Structure 1
Amino acid sequence: MGPALSDLIGLLPGDPDIVQPLVALALSILLYAFAWGLARLWAPRLRRRLPSLGDAMAGHVRAIVRHGAAALLLTLALPFFPKDGLGHLVLGMTLGAAVALLSIHILKGLAMPRWAVVPLALILFILIVSGSGGGIAPVSEMLDGIGMNLGKRRITLLGLLSIAATCVALFAAVRLANRVISRSIQKADSFDPTQKLLAQKLAAITVIVVAFFIGVDLLSIDLTAFAVFSGALGLAIGFGLQKTFGNLIAGIILLMDRSIKPGDVIVVGDSFGWVNKIGVRAVSVITRDGKEHLIPNENLMTQEVENWSYSDRNVRVRIPVGIAFDSDLKLAQRLMLQAAQESPRVLRNPKPNVWLTAFGESRVEHDILVWISDPEGGVGNVKSDVLGRVWQLFRDHGIAIPYPQRVIHQAPDRQQS
């Protein structure tokens, strides 16, 4: 079909060496315009049918469809031009640009760093243009000729570029797979939040393991070459990563038995707050001060942990209040109960209560017992609100809040002058 098209171009007026690349350039523009239209038509449908993929690529779906369709159309048009002609080279350059832009948008959608995106796109462009001009073999031989010998092995520039490109591609594939799987699990209605998080962690580990073995196979790495060092290396890694693997297993166990899950309000040592997320190494606990404490998963397995929302999110708050001995006891208790009931975060069921707890040195001691269902919102602000209302009601009704008083009696001086 290529010679037939060349004959057809030869019938056009003018020099074939000028007409052929102009036709190839016009065809490239036409195919890219057609790909642009396809992207506008199919990108919204693709996002609707594959919402997880659309969310994972974060706004790059249309560009990926556009450059991918253009690369496919240009690949189909490339054989129609003779390989030794300028038209073939023009289409090859356009194809290389399309593939490079496609890789850039895919890697940017996966939040890959610029230092990894630009070199990979440049390598793809050079390889495709070299192949279109019939020069990919000489380029490969040139890159393979640049290297150095290390013992019985030879390290070449071509090998290093292959390793770098493979690592970047696998890293991008792992990140894309994790994003798609994570969003698919997040939208599953049959899992609760804890099961979703556990499934995401297990899926991420599986994807990494599969990518590792695929990378070993693609790079033709002979693992038996490390057999001599496997014992010492395994022992060193075992000691070095003992805590890391311990925290990983502890995090999985915490998710499996659901003793601690995201959103729980816990107290570990001096750390009080709600669980933001359970990571591979540590649990993130955000305190009321906005500080984020990273507590190793293993500590939550070995230390005593208070989980205020393990089986029930309702938490009882104790608020001590003292009144003077000469106050109207029944009125004071009724006002304390009224203050608790008027506080917006205090639950009506279980209802608040007021207990007389002791007769102190200078006051009658009470406890206002209230229940809240949102302990992540803090406890101190509930106490402050209730005590502020108690203070105002006591002032309005003449109930005195005593303060400690000491009477000192001085004995008369009996020393004789």
Structure 2
Amino acid sequence: MDLLSSVGALGLPLPATPQLTDIAAAVAVIVVGVGVGWLAARTGAHPLTRLLQRATGRPGVEDFGDRVRRLLRSGIAALVMIIGGAAVPDGGYAALLMAAATGITLAVFAYQVARVAGLRSGSAAGVSAVVLIAGAASMLGGLHSLTASLDGFAFKVGTHRLSLLGLVNFALVAIVLFVLARFLNRIVSHSIGRLNGFDAGQRVLLQKLSGIVVVVSAVLLGVDLLGIDLTALTVFSGALGLAVGFGLQKTLGNLIAGVILLMDRSIKPGDVIVVGNTFGSVNKIGVRAVSVVTRDGKEHLIPNEQLMTEPVENWSYTSPNIRIHVPVGVGYKSDLALAQRLMIEAAVASERVLATPRPTVWLTAFGESSVDHEILAWISDPEAGVGNVRSAILNRLWVSFQENGIEIPFAQRDINIRSLPTPSKE
């Protein structure tokens, strides 16, 4: 079978003699489309790039400007070819050339849209291949013959008929909605992140809720576009929902607890909290757990529900200022007034200790071997740790005590022996 017979079998009969006038018109439309697209990309790519970078928050993505330039160039070129294609007569070599050029241009446009939306190159190539076939077929007199052929490959599952056309439609709708939902979610999240009227916790809550709304809307729109009848799944979905409800009880509880934490603002990113034996700074409030980073660099994932049901110390709830206690003992023969003055001086000399309120010293007890004191000092950055402040104060105090003859006693015990056993005589 020769080329003419093969193309004619696909529904596009080609004349034996090419119509040079029609081919020239098709070439002219293609050249004009490419030229207009190139000019539009040259003049409008930079403003469009800046707009998309501000909207999506991706200023540092490599080659982002080049992707936008190719997107604009191919999109304008495809639009001009679709409009100008009406001037090219149907059938013949000119229509075949026009369909091939338009399909390729649309495929390039679809690939760039998918890449700008964040899809990987493999997924974007799959989208562009489908667009290439659909675009070329639509320029060759419509998609009726193609859809009829795809619908012919079908099989039955019970009373339901599944066709290749239905699978292709499902894949196309899923891919398009996924790209649009991801792109829209990125824009909405970045826009919410730039709102100065809300704190960090409220912005996180709005971003999560907006993401859920976008995903649910995309799913409902896909069900409507595909014409899926959900009434047949009522019984099955009820049983499945009951099983999932029991299985995901803890997960849903953590999700609801996370939303409550973000709404009442009792715990926010950046707060310093103590939960059980975990002390650290809140790094992120997630859907399932709160990330707490300790001073050792370890990241603890604490379930949201645990923060709602167990006592939590929040050192940054109303104010970041906290008071630390540094226990110090001095000997009974030491000058207590001088020792207490040196304690205050050591606390004041620490860089992280606040001048107001001023550090104080309390005499707490007369111990077995020392006079016990506590240095009380305020700091405003507990996320930087409290142990290092105690260490700095005690190091300065050690030097000051040595220079001024203040004794730091160690534990001593007096043993009174009332009687000794009489040695036996041998």
Task: Give the TM-score normalised by structure 2.
Answer: 0.86
1:43-79 deviation per Cα after TM superposition (whole angstroms, max 9, x unaligned): 3323555664353695243333233222222222222
1:336-394 deviation per Cα after TM superposition (whole angstroms, max 9, x unaligned): 21221121111112222222212222222221111111111112222222222222323
Does structure 1 residue 233 correspond to structure 2 residue 240? yes
Alpha-carbon offset, residue 307 of structure 1:
0.9
Flag the 1:144–1:392 CA change in 2: closer, same or farther, 3 A: farther
Structure 1 residue runs of 5 or longer lacking an equivalent are 1-14
2:110 matched to which residue of 1? 103
Match for 1:312: what amino acid?
S
**Do 1:54 and 1:61's aligned partners in 2 also have CA atoms closer than 8 Å?**
no
Alpha-carbon offset, residue 151 of structure 1:
0.7
Residue-pair matches, total: 403
1:10 matched to which residue of 2? none
**Do 1:56 and 1:110's aligned partners in 2 also have CA atoms closer than 8 Å?**
no
Paired residue secondary structure (1:86): helix
**Do 1:56 and 1:109's aligned partners in 2 also have CA atoms closer than 8 Å?**
no
Cα distance in structure 1, aligned partners of 2:359 and 2:265: 30
Does structure 1 residue 40 correspond to structure 2 residue 42? yes
Cα distance in structure 2, aligned partners of 1:21 and 1:408: 117
Alpha-carbon offset, residue 150 of structure 1:
0.7
2:269 matched to which residue of 1? 262
1:112-154 deviation per Cα after TM superposition (whole angstroms, max 9, x unaligned): 3445322222111111123334474333233223333211112
Flag the 1:159–1:331 CA change in 2: closer, same or farther, 3 A: same
Flag the 1:243–1:356 CA change in 2: closer, same or farther, 3 A: same
**Alignment of structure 1 residues 382-401 onto 2, 5 Å:** 382-401=389-408
Structure 1 stretch displaced more, 270-279 or 211-220:
270-279
Counting aligned pairs with the same residue, the percent is 48
1:414 matched to which residue of 2? 422
Match for 1:415: what amino acid?
P
CA-atom RMSD in angstroms? 2.6
Paired residue secondary structure (1:231): helix
Cα distance in structure 1, aligned partners of 2:239 and 2:366: 70
2:283 matched to which residue of 1? 276
Cα distance in structure 2, aligned partners of 1:53 and 1:110: 12
Flag the 1:20–1:81 CA change in 2: closer, same or farther, 3 A: same
Alpha-carbon offset, residue 323 of structure 1:
2.1
Alpha-carbon offset, residue 310 of structure 1:
0.7
Alpha-carbon offset, residue 224 of structure 1:
0.6
1:239-279 deviation per Cα after TM superposition (whole angstroms, max 9, x unaligned): 22322222222222111111111111111122221112222
Structure 1 stretch displaced more, 308-317 or 107-116:
107-116
Cα distance in structure 2, aligned partners of 1:91 and 1:323: 96
Pick aligned residue for 2:135 from 101, 123, 128: 128
1:136-187 deviation per Cα after TM superposition (whole angstroms, max 9, x unaligned): 4333233223333211112222222221221121122221121111111222
Structure 2 residue runs of 5 or longer lacking an equivalent are 1-16
**Do 1:47 and 1:54's aligned partners in 2 also have CA atoms closer than 8 Å?**
no
**Do 2:85 and 2:98's aligned partners in 1 also have CA atoms closer than 8 Å?**
yes
Task: Give the TM-score normalised by structure 1.
Answer: 0.87
Flag the 1:55–1:23 CA change in 2: closer, same or farther, 3 A: farther
Paired residue secondary structure (2:409): coil
Paired residue secondary structure (1:313): coil
Pick aligned residue for 1:381 from 362, 385, 388: 388
